[in-house]
Amino acid sequence: MAQFKTATLAGGCFWCTEAIFDRLKGVQSVMPGYANSKVANPSYQAVCTGRTGAAEAVQITYDPSVMPYETLLEIFWHLHDPTTLNRQGNDIGTQYRSGIYYQNDEEKQAALAVKAQVEQSGAYKKPIVTEIVPFANFYPAEDYHKDYYENNREQSYCQFVIDPKVQKLLKEYRNELKV
């Protein structure tokens, strides 16, 4: 029987991040929501003010024997821009920051090691600004945010922002995809 673990990652808009990680083998579920908020159960509207301290994030339940944490992180760093502070494309604000919210020292060390590998690879010309901080909390997003890409592919945001990320995933990480 699988021993599932949970990873909490913020890579800009949670619609994009959910669409990516939901396609990976070994991933049981991906929940969009708000990580490391200073306010209990923040709403989307409250998070958009920038005053909650929350990041739009996803909580990924995965089987590490199929999808190692380090591979999740590698995919995470290659499918968003970790070099822009509080911004992903036209999405601007602290809620769109890049972040890894680790549960223990093992996850922290893995995040730092994979970050160093990505930086040394030369994939980015600017430094990675992803915050790597302890997990504090996670609040699921409102229902209309769940499976947003799957349910709204005709929306322009899905076509122009999420589709290119999904296509990059399909091209570069074919071996890690669900059949």
Catalytic residue positions?
13
Asked if 19 and 75 touch (Cβ cutoff 8 Å), the reply is no
Residue 58 CB coordination number (10 Å)? 27
Asked if 112 and 150 touch (Cβ cutoff 8 Å), the reply is no
